[in-house]
């Protein structure tokens, strides 16, 4: 049994484990239709590779390329997605090298083959350790994203941040609507909104009469009595970014998901603020994180 088949089989099993315990990763590795179907496919391919099936190498190569493409196209970042991408690339290279090589047996590996195997082994070790660490660390964030629940009060040229609890108090005190953006540090479109939408001068001016909240939906840190993970769970946030417009008491007026360019956000706000009466009766102020 070849080293590439063993590595890729173990990689598929590890990715299946990550998908099992981190469902949100599913949308970034090419299994948007069915998470459990993707997990089953990964297990099946791992067993086929362990069985040293010739067709499994080609199918494993295609699956590795599909996973790598899914990660790259999603724009997702973070330790989990980085290690998933690394493993897919290493597995694809190893399988391509072996499936495309000569079928003639050699007495021993040459220096180039030996070097590739050593380099691949080192890469495999990094990927395995990275996947295990990332799946355990969960929301460990290595980016300039907010560490907890934060609020931005808009000035003329920039925004300033405080906690979610303060937003509720300010909203009730000043009778202002609250805009909440649920994000995660690995979300590519969240980063794009932070770089483009929330820095747009027209958006900054439009939010002058709104308390705007940005929440890290994976944060377990308590800020102002609330944890990002609890707030996201309370409002049943499924995808990122999700933007909600709320009353001062936390009741939802409207919500939308996906990337919002400045013009789309402005149009959405103009449409919603004109009909603030029918607030949702489902989402109320979330309980304080403990």
15-35 residue pLDDT tens? 888 777 655 555 555 554 466
H or E element, residue 159: strand 159-163
Select from 3.40.640.10, 3.50.30.30, 3.40.30.10, 3.30.1490.20 the CATH code of 149-273: 3.40.30.10
Q: How far apart are the first and last CA of the chain?
A: 51
Query: Per-domain residue ranges for the chain?
Result: 3-137, 149-273
pLDDT at 264: 93
Cα 166 to Cα 65, 211, 215, 221: the distances in Å are: 46, 10, 13, 16
Highest mean pLDDT among 76-80, 152-156, 157-161, 179-183: 179-183
Cα–Cα distance measured from residue 159 to residue 122, given in angstroms and rounded to the nearest whole number: 44
Pairing relationship of beta strands 242-246 and 252-257 according to DSSP bridges:
antiparallel
User: pLDDT tens for residues 185-237?
Assistant: 999 999 999 899 888 888 888 887 888 888 899 988 887 788 999 999 999 99
What's the residue count for the chain? 290
pLDDT for the residue 161: 63
Nearest alpha carbon to residue 26 among 60, 96, 65, 74: 74
Q: How confident is the model at residue 243 (pLDDT cuts 50, 70, 90)?
A: very high
Q: Strands of 178-262 (E only): list them.
A: 178-183, 211-216, 222-223, 226-227, 242-246, 252-257
* pLDDT band (50, 70, 90) for residue 260: very high
Most confident of 50-59, 99-108, 264-273: 264-273
């Amino acid at each position: 049994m070849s080293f590439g088949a063993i590595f890729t089989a173990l990689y598929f099993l590890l990715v299946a484990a990550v998908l099992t315990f981190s469902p949100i990763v599913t949308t970034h590795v090419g299994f948007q239709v069915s998470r459990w179907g993707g997990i089953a496919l990964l297990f099946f391919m791992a067993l086929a590779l362990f069985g040293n099936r010739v067709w499994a190498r080609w199918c494993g190569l295609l699956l590795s390329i599909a996973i790598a493409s899914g990660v790259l196209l999603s724009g997702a970042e973070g330790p989990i997605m980085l290690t998933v991408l690394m493993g897919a690339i290493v597995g694809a290279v190893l399988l391509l090298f072996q499936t495309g090589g000569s079928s003639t047996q050699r007495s021993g590996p040459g220096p180039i083959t030996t070097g590739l195997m050593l380099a691949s082994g080192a890469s495999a070790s990094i990927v395995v350790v990275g996947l295990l660490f990332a799946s355990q660390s969960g929301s460990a964030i290595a980016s300039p994203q907010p560490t907890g629940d934060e609020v931005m009060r808009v000035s003329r040229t920039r925004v300033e941040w405080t906690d979610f609890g303060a937003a509720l108090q300010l909203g009730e005190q000043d009778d202002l609507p609250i805009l909440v953006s649920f994000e995660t540090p690995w979300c590519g479109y969240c980063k794009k909104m932070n770089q483009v939408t929330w820095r747009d001068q027209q958006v900054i001016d439009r939010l002058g009469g709104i308390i705007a909240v940005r929440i890290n939906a994976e944060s377990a840190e308590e800020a102002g009595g609330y944890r990002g993970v609890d707030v996201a769970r309370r409002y049943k946030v499924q995808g990122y970014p999700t933007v909600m417009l709320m009353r001062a008491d936390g009741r939802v007026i409207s919500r939308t998901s996906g990337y919002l360019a400045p013009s789309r956000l402005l149009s959405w706000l103009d449409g919603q603020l004109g009909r603030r009466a029918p607030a949702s009766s489902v989402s109320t102020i979330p309980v304080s994180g403990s």
